Structure 1
Amino acid sequence: MDVLSDVVAVTRTGRPRSAHVRWHAPWGQEFASVPGSAGFQVIVRGSCWLLPPNAEPVQLGTGDVVFLPHGSGHTLADSPESLATAPACGPADHELYDAYASDSVDRSGDGGPVTVVLCGAYELDPSRTHPLLLTLPDLIHLPAQSGGRPELRSAVQLLAAELENPRLGTDAIVPALLDTLLLYILRVWFDAQPARGETTGWAAALNDPPVTAALHAIHRDPATPWTVAKLAAEAGLSRAPFARRFAMLIGQPPLGYLTWWRMTTAARLLRTSDAPLRSIAVQVGYTSEFAFANAFKRTYGTAPGAYRRNS
């Protein structure tokens, strides 16, 4: 798998939730901060205001996408003045999200202008959050007018249609579309970040072809006995420049990241499969079960068998 697909597969847990909500002005809705989640808001029709707790209000129009990767609290309202009437709620348990794969929610005000919002939340496992997600800002706003993202628009349209008019297969289609939407949001944001040389971190790393080539090699086959020299060859660079470049952008040396990813993959296999420890060790690049167990304990503070039982 490529890096971004792996990151989402490792971090996402539970069942994503969403709702198709029709608001009638005047209206306001507060979404409480929920650690261990990531929320999104998509303006399907009309306009509204996003009111972050510690930032200036942001006006949203049709087609705008807002993503909150760390579950930050926020408010949506037809105008900033409607904040005073907004009831508090949380994305994990509010009745809005009980509309998942069922009829749309209609919130009536005084018959004012209508705004249709596609809102939802993903559950994330804090114990295995990838550093790529940790570096994301609290709020990502993807305005519709910037254009150039037909795939994201298509995913939004398909998801809105399924939630507004559920049919046979909707229960299977909606979770797949929600994961697709998440990947498109992240892809669009990373694609829009400055090229290497202007910044560091994962945003720069994913726009840096040599480092991305090495990352893809690690994620494609973590069992390969990678060395810095072999990864440098994948990147098309000599050993020393590659190691410096990788560490500067990723924040740790190539083999340090390799070990971390191997242990993250092993933890996922221990939780989700009944494969023998020997088999898992081989899958993550250890020919000795003893060496694998030692490496795993250094990372998680417990032996692989105990980790599996406790999970």
Structure 2
Amino acid sequence: MTELDALARSLVVLGSEVTSLELGGRWGKHRRAGRGSAKLYAALYGGGVLEVAGARMSLGPGELAFLPRADEHVIRDSAATPVPRDGSACVGMQQTAADVWVSEAAPVTSLVTVDLQIDHADAPWLSLLPAVVHITREDRELGRWLADTLALLGRARALSPALRETITTSWAQALFAQALRAEGASLPGAEALRDERIVAALLRLRAEPEKPWELGELAAEVGMSRSVLAARTTALLGEPVGSYLRRLRLDRAASLLATTDAPIKAIAARVGYASEPAFTRAFVRARGTAPQAYRRAMRGA
């Protein structure tokens, strides 16, 4: 497993919704940008046109289009079909069940869509991914595996919740791993995603945020100079490494406060603070409340 695969596997998938669309004639739908989500379209047969981020692509039978951030987009049978820009569907398209859309005309296109709820809080690199990744029939091995898994997810009601969660997580992480390698990952700072040494550095921080990291030490571990590591990680994260590490520590502390009865002093030590007062000051600055008050609020929620 490469470092990019490991980064994709670190994403937390919170849930998924699978929808079937059986469409004919003129059809289309405008989707506003999702929040904390990703979206996939798969054409079982037929196809359509997807427009996202000012670009247009054709989606053919057996192909998939993955939107890692669920950016605003339009999906329709052809570029000539008018679609309302208010989030509603094209005239003639109707929802017949919670997970089924159909059109009045006999279907010539069958799409399956998957909405993935993703924990974006600790994955700033998602903003650097391309708006859409097109998986074509040329990607035979990956495409076949994704299609088979998608067909299984389409029968989600027959699966146990645990099995569905396992399948969805594995499948989603494969899609994000593909997105990390996509040619379109060329936004400012995205070159850092292609440097596995940068990814390795971030994974080390995530694995041991409590460690008293020095930038020079981290750079040496991944075989880079201190200055290059600082510049590239700041471009990727949108903040200096020290700020990112502090956020990791306090996020972990918040989780421990909410889910354990460990003393505040013990939690402070577990997330890398030498004293309880230093930890409390940092926590108040970040969360606006003291650790003990935060714990009470979370337990009472």
**For residues 109 and 187 of structure 1, do their structure 2 counterparts lie closer, same or farther at Cα, with a shift above 3 Å needed?**
same
1:180 CA displacement: 2.4
The separation in 2 between residues aligned to 1:160 and 1:61, in whole angstroms, is 17
Would the aligned equivalents of 1:39 and 1:68 in 2 still touch at CA under 8 Å?
A: yes
Alignment check: 8 A CA contact 1:159 1:177 kept: no
What residue number does 2:293 align with?
306
Q: For residues 195-236 of structure 1, give each alpha carbon's deviation from its aligned partner in whole angstroms, at most 9, with x where no partner exists.
A: 9xx8752x3223213322221211122222211232122112
Correspondence for 1:143: 135
Alpha-carbon offset, residue 84 of structure 1: 4.3
Whether 1:120 and 2:114 are equivalent positions in the alignment is: yes
**Is 1:173 aligned to residue 163 of structure 2?**
yes
TM-score, with length taken from structure 1: 0.76
1:248, CA displacement in angstroms?
Answer: 4.7
The one of 262, 281, 285 equivalent to 1:294 is: 281
Deviation at 1:144, TM superposition (A): 0.8
Q: Write the deviation string for residues 1-55 of structure 1: whole angstroms up to 9, x where unpaired.
A: 944333x22xx54x32122333233432333444343322222322112244x73
Q: Does 1:157 align with 2:144?
A: no
> Is the CA contact (8 Å cut-off) linking 1:243 and 1:254 kept in structure 2?
yes
Listed one character per residue, the Cα deviations across residues 146-186 of structure 1 (whole Å, up to 9, x for unaligned) are: 526x346413422322424753x343333332222322222
Are residue 182 (structure 1) and residue 176 (structure 2) matched? no
Equivalent in 104, 113, 133 of residue 109 of structure 1 = 104
SS in 1 for 2:18: strand
Question: Which residue in 2 is equivalent to 1:49?
Answer: 49
Deviations 1:103-134 (A, max 9, x none): xx362432252x222212233567x3632123
1:133 counterpart = 2:113: no
Preserved contact between residue 124 and residue 236 of structure 2 (Cα < 8 Å): no
CA distance in 1, matches of 2:253, 2:143: 32
Partner of 1:16 in structure 2? 16
Alignment of 1:181-260 (within 5 A): 181-193=171-183, 200-201=188-189, 203-260=190-247
Q: Residue 28 of structure 1 contacts residue 86 of structure 1 at CA under 8 Å; is this kept in 2? A: no
How high is the TM-score relative to the length of structure 2?
A: 0.78
Query: For the residues of structure 2 that align with 1:97 and 1:33, how far apart are their CA atoms?
Result: 23
SS at structure 2 position matched to 1:226: coil
User: Identity of counterpart residues, as a percentage?
Assistant: 29
Q: Supply the AA of the counterpart residue of 2:49.
A: W
Letter in 1 for 2:30: E
Gaps of 5+ in 1: 100-104
CA pair 17-187 structure 1, distance change in 2 beyond 3 A: same
Q: In the alignment, residue 8 of structure 2 is paired with which amino acid?
A: L
Which deviates the most, 30-39 or 290-299? 30-39
Task: Determine the C-alpha separation between the residues in 2 that align with 1:23 and 1:194.
Answer: 30
**Which one-letter code corresponds to 1:118 in the other structure?**
V
| Unpaired stretches in structure 2, ≥5 consecutive residues | none
Q: Structure 1 residues 163 and 275 mapped into 2: Cα distance closer, same or farther (>3 Å)?
A: farther
> Given that residues 155 and 177 in structure 1 are in contact (C-alpha distance below 8 angstroms), is that contact kept between their aligned partners in structure 2?
no
The residue that corresponds to 1:63 in the other structure is: 62
How many matched pairs?
A: 290
**Partner SS state of residue 289, structure 2:** coil
The 2-side partners of 1:250 and 1:87 are apart by: 33
Contact 1:31/1:73 (CA < 8 Å) preserved in 2?
yes
2:9 maps to which of 5, 23, 44: 5
Q: Deviations over 1:30-89 (max 9, x none)?
A: 33444343322222322112244x735421112333333444333322223333489945
